[in-house]
């Protein structure tokens, strides 16, 4: 694609300057793309009702047209523009979790361009809680379709710098409001099947959804790779196991803390002997174990503080990538609360396999 000069503008994360918001909304109105912060990750936005602008999203990311986009709204009334029916359960969930990191899959309204839904009869909708995102959608006066602002197959960006690394020369404007608070993408919840099911675990935990929706189904187990690929390719294109691939291989270790330590140290030893540069992503409390191993260590935080681990996870993977390690060995952080989303991203980066 043709080179576009990329400008980065700082914007106040709590009280976005109206001049910046107006100028950015004008670009969207004119059919351009802009990168804006959300509480989860940075998004690459276009006016959801302009097909020509939507096409640019796919070109800028190098993303296949078969991967549908999330539409971001600032007011529940906008739901009526996007869907045919608003089930009571959707209203309850919206009341409890919006604005916030929950995406609802609802029946597609007739006005929603096919480019948004990848031809599906459903549409993904969320109301983000980042003040910049909300101000931008309101100023545009139209919902904004936005995937994460990374190149296809790369890790989602949680800082403007991450976005610049992936998309400089491909988008005219990046709004920089500092690091994203949550750090993993929204939970995608399917409300169009017989049972409500999480398609992608994310910023709202399964446990939290349970309080409003006792019959919510957890994401499909990712250990049966072929079966999962087949189901997800139909239900949720873009959720394939290799979706969030760092540019270096990642090995995810399971087992007790002691087992993980032992097998990770053995793997580091084998790789070190071959002259490989190894990176490890471990909890703060694991650092002494790996201090003298020769591996480059990144810690996103304590395993007891998953909010912090999630917030730093993607930055950690990018840091290790940029340090040119040849492999990343990663401990697991369990499956409770945000642990499920963290595990999902790591498992995808690991191609769906774990090491014992
Ligand atoms: O936190 C987030 O959700 C971020 C921020 C920018 O809002 N966005 C994001 O978008 O992660 P993206 O495009 O990277 O991931 C959206 C995923 C798609 O890969 C797809 O699996 C799912 O949402 N999705 C979108 N529309 C869908 C639909 N109609 N049915 C099922 N899944 C859908
Ligand atoms: Mg993405």
350 C-beta closer than 6 A to ligand 1: no
Ligand nearest to the CA of 245: 2
- Return the number of other C-beta atoms located less than 10 Å from residue 137's C-beta: 26
Rounded-to-integer distance, Cα 335 and Cα 356, Å: 17
At residue 237, the pLDDT reads 59
The CA 125 to ligand 1 mean position distance, Å, reads 9
Give the pLDDT confidence of 184-230 residue by residue, as tens digits.
999 999 999 999 999 999 999 999 999 999 999 999 875 555 555 55
Q: How far is the CA of 178 from the centre of ligand 1 (A)?
A: 22
Q: Does the beta carbon of 340 sit less than 6 angstroms from any atom of ligand 1? A: no
Q: If residue 296 lies in a helix (H) or strand (E), which one and from where to where?
A: strand 296-298
Query: What is the distance of C-alpha 181 from the center of its chain?
Result: 12
- Whether residue 36 contacts residue 127, with contact meaning beta carbons closer than 8 Å, is answered with no
pLDDT value of position 229: 57
Low-confidence ranges of the chain (pLDDT < 50): none
- Ligand 1 site-directed mutation target among 153, 238, 241, most atoms within 8 Å of CB: 238
On whether the CB atoms of residues 263 and 255 are closer than 8 A, the answer is yes
Can you list the positions of beta strands (E) in 78-231?
102-107, 122-126, 144-145, 173-176, 187-190, 197-200
The CA-based dihedral angle spanning residues 322, 222, 203, 134, taken in that order and rounded to the nearest 10 degrees = 80
Residue nearest to atom 3 of ligand 1 (CA): 186
What does the pLDDT read at residue 1? 86
DSSP labels, 26-80: HHHHTT--EEE--SSS-EEEEETT-HHHHHHHHHHHT--TTS--EEE-SSGGGHH
State residue 233's pLDDT score. 59
How close is the Cα of 119 to the center of ligand 1, in Å?
14
> What are the distances in angstroms from CA 113 to CA 28, 237, 274, 297?
16, 17, 52, 45
Candidate from 147, 163, 240, 244 with most ligand 1 atoms within 8 A of CB, to mutate: 147
Instruction: Select from 44, 61, 68 the residue to mutate for testing ligand 1; criterion: most ligand atoms less than 8 Å from CB.
Output: 68
Tell me: cis bond preceding 99? Omega within 30 of 0 counts. Answer: yes
Q: Token match 């002997």: residue?
A: 273
Looking up tokens 């912090």, which residue turns up?
308
pLDDT of residue 228: 54
Helical (H) or strand (E) element with 341? helix 339-349
Residue 236: per-residue pLDDT: 60
Residue nearest to ligand 1 atom 12, measured at CA = 147
DSSP letter for 276, please.
Answer: -
What is the structure's pLDDT at 171? 98
Residue 91: what are its φ and ψ, rounded to 5°?
-65, -40
| Structure-token pair, residue 48 | 């959801």
Q: How remote is the CA of residue 258 from the centroid of ligand 2, in Å?
A: 34
Neighbours of 141 (CB within 10 A): 12
Residues facing residue 280 across a β-bridge: 297, 329
CA distances from 180 to 74, 108, 192, 269, 316 (A): 18, 29, 30, 35, 14
Q: Which ligand is nearest to the CA of 185?
A: 1
Sheet holding 296-298: strands in order across? 296-298, 278-281, 327-331, 250-253, 354-355
The reported pLDDT for the residue numbered 247 is 76
Q: How far apart are CA 128 and CA 102, in angstroms?
A: 8
| Burial class of residue 282 (count of CB atoms within 10 Å of its CB; 0-12, 13-18, 19+) | buried
Position in ligand 1 atom list of the atom nearest CA 70: 25
Cβ distance 219 to 199 under 8 Å? yes
Whose CA is closest to atom 10 on ligand 1?
Answer: 147
Is any ligand 1 atom within 6 A of the Cβ of residue 236? yes
Which distant-in-sequence residues (6+ apart) come within 8 Å of 95 by Cβ? none
Q: 92-120 as b/e, with b when 16 or more CB fall inside 10 Å?
A: ebbeebbbbbbbbbbbbeeebbebbbbeb
- Give this prediction's pTM: 0.95
Atom 13, ligand 1: residue with shortest CA distance = 147
Calculate how far, in angstroms, residue 60's C-alpha sits from the geometric centre of ligand 2.
13
Note the pLDDT of residue 243: 56
């Amino acid at each position: 694609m043709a080179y576009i000069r990329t400008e980065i503008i700082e914007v106040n994360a709590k009280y976005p300057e109206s001049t910046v918001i107006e100028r950015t909304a004008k670009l969207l109105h004119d059919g351009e793309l802009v990168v804006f912060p959300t509480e989860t990750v940075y998004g690459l936005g276009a006016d959801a009702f302009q097909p020509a602008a939507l096409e640019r999203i796919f070109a800028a990311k190098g993303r296949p047209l078969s991967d549908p986009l999330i539409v971001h709204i600032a007011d529940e009334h906008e739901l009526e523009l996007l869907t045919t029916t608003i089930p009571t359960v959707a209203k309850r969930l919206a009341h409890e979790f919006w604005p916030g990191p929950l995406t609802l899959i609802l029946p597609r309204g007739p006005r929603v361009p096919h480019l948004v839904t990848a031809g599906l009869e459903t549409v993904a909708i969320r109301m983000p809680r980042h003040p910049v995102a909300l101000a931008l959608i309101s100023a545009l006066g139209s919902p904004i379709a936005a995937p994460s602002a990374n190149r296809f197959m790369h890790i989602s960006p949680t800082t403007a710098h991450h976005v610049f690394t992936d998309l400089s020369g491909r988008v005219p404007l990046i709004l920089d409001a500092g690091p994203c608070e949550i750090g993993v993408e929204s939970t995608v919840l399917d409300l169009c099947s017989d049972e409500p099911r999480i398609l992608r675990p994310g910023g709202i935990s399964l446990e939290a959804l349970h309080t409003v929706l006792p019959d919510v189904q957890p994401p499909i187990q990712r250990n049966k790779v072929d079966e999962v690929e087949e189901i997800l390719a139909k239900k949720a294109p873009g959720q394939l196991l290799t979706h969030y691939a760092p540019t270096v291989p990642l090995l995810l270790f399971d087992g007790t803390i002691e087992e993980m330590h032992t097998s990770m140290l053995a793997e580091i030893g084998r790789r070190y002997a071959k002259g490989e540069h190894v990176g490890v992503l471990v909890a703060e409390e694991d650092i002494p174990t790996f201090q003298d191993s020769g591996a480059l260590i990144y810690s996103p935080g304590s395993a007891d503080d998953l909010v912090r681990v999630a917030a730093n996870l993607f930055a950690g993977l990018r840091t290790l990538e940029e340090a040119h390690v040849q492999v990343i060995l990663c401990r697991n952080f369990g499956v409770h609360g945000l642990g499920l989303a963290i595990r999902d991203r790591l498992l995808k980066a690991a191609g769906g396999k774990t090491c014992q």
